[in-house]
Amino acid sequence: MFCSFLVLVLRKELDRRLVEAGRHFEWADIKQDLKAAQELAIEDNRKSLALGTECLGTYGKVFKAVGVALPPTIRALYTMSKSER
Protein backbone atom coordinates (compact mmCIF):
# COMPACT_ATOMS: atom_id res chain seq x y z
CA MET A 1 0.00 0.00 0.00
CA PHE A 2 2.80 2.41 0.91
CA CYS A 3 4.56 1.82 -2.44
CA SER A 4 1.37 2.61 -4.37
CA PHE A 5 0.97 5.85 -2.41
CA LEU A 6 4.61 6.78 -3.02
CA VAL A 7 4.23 6.15 -6.76
CA LEU A 8 1.19 8.44 -6.87
CA VAL A 9 3.03 11.19 -4.98
CA LEU A 10 6.03 10.94 -7.33
CA ARG A 11 3.81 10.90 -10.40
CA LYS A 12 1.96 14.00 -9.22
CA GLU A 13 5.26 15.80 -8.57
CA LEU A 14 6.52 14.83 -12.04
CA ASP A 15 3.32 16.14 -13.63
CA ARG A 16 3.62 19.40 -11.64
CA ARG A 17 7.22 19.95 -12.74
CA LEU A 18 6.40 19.22 -16.37
CA VAL A 19 3.55 21.76 -16.29
CA GLU A 20 5.87 24.35 -14.70
CA ALA A 21 8.37 23.73 -17.52
CA GLY A 22 5.61 24.16 -20.11
CA ARG A 23 5.76 20.52 -21.19
CA HIS A 24 2.91 18.12 -21.76
CA PHE A 25 3.63 14.50 -22.59
CA GLU A 26 1.41 11.46 -22.60
CA TRP A 27 2.32 9.08 -19.76
CA ALA A 28 2.49 6.16 -22.21
CA ASP A 29 5.08 8.04 -24.31
CA ILE A 30 7.23 8.78 -21.26
CA LYS A 31 7.18 5.13 -20.17
CA GLN A 32 7.91 3.89 -23.69
CA ASP A 33 10.89 6.23 -24.13
CA LEU A 34 12.34 5.33 -20.72
CA LYS A 35 11.94 1.62 -21.50
CA ALA A 36 13.78 2.10 -24.80
CA ALA A 37 16.85 3.48 -23.02
CA GLN A 38 19.55 0.84 -22.90
CA GLU A 39 23.11 0.47 -21.71
CA LEU A 40 25.79 -1.88 -22.99
CA ALA A 41 28.97 -2.78 -21.09
CA ILE A 42 32.16 -3.30 -23.09
CA GLU A 43 35.42 -4.66 -21.72
CA ASP A 44 38.71 -4.25 -23.57
CA ASN A 45 42.33 -4.01 -22.54
CA ARG A 46 41.55 -4.16 -18.78
CA LYS A 47 39.01 -1.34 -19.06
CA SER A 48 35.25 -1.53 -18.83
CA LEU A 49 32.98 1.08 -20.37
CA ALA A 50 29.23 1.55 -20.36
CA LEU A 51 27.65 2.87 -23.55
CA GLY A 52 24.16 4.33 -23.27
CA THR A 53 21.59 4.98 -25.95
CA GLU A 54 20.86 8.43 -27.31
CA CYS A 55 18.12 10.45 -25.57
CA LEU A 56 15.25 10.25 -28.03
CA GLY A 57 11.61 11.28 -27.75
CA THR A 58 10.49 12.64 -24.40
CA TYR A 59 13.35 11.06 -22.43
CA GLY A 60 15.77 13.99 -22.38
CA LYS A 61 13.03 16.62 -22.16
CA VAL A 62 11.51 15.00 -19.06
CA PHE A 63 14.89 14.81 -17.31
CA LYS A 64 15.61 18.47 -18.15
CA ALA A 65 12.15 19.63 -17.02
CA VAL A 66 12.55 18.05 -13.58
CA GLY A 67 16.15 19.20 -13.13
CA VAL A 68 17.81 15.79 -13.24
CA ALA A 69 21.10 15.39 -15.10
CA LEU A 70 21.08 12.91 -17.95
CA PRO A 71 23.42 9.96 -17.57
CA PRO A 72 26.53 10.26 -19.76
CA THR A 73 26.48 8.37 -23.05
CA ILE A 74 29.87 6.83 -22.29
CA ARG A 75 31.19 6.23 -18.78
CA ALA A 76 34.03 4.23 -17.28
CA LEU A 77 32.93 1.35 -15.08
CA TYR A 78 36.33 0.21 -13.83
CA THR A 79 39.89 -0.55 -14.83
CA MET A 80 41.35 -3.91 -13.85
CA SER A 81 44.83 -4.08 -12.41
CA LYS A 82 47.31 -6.58 -13.85
CA SER A 83 46.78 -8.88 -10.87
CA GLU A 84 43.02 -9.08 -11.60
CA ARG A 85 43.57 -10.33 -15.15
> Does 1 have pLDDT greater than 80?
no
The residues spanned by each domain of the chain are: 2-84
Are 53 and 40 in contact by the 8 Å Cβ rule? The answer is: no
Tens-digit pLDDT profile for residues 29-82: 999 998 988 999 999 888 899 999 888 889 889 998 888 898 889 999 877 665
Q: How confident is the model at residue 83 (pLDDT cuts 50, 70, 90)?
A: low
Axis crossing angle, helix 27-36 with helix 59-66, rounded to the nearest 10: 110
- How high is the pLDDT of residue 46? 82
- Calculate mean pLDDT across residues 11-29: 93
Asked whether 58 and 25 are in contact (CB, 8 A), the reply is yes
Q: Please tell me the distance from the alpha carbon of residue 70 to that of residue 7, in angstroms, as a whole number.
A: 21
Quick one: pLDDT at residue 54?
A: 85
Candidates 58, 73, 75; CA nearest to 14 is 58
More reliable by pLDDT, 14 or 56: 14
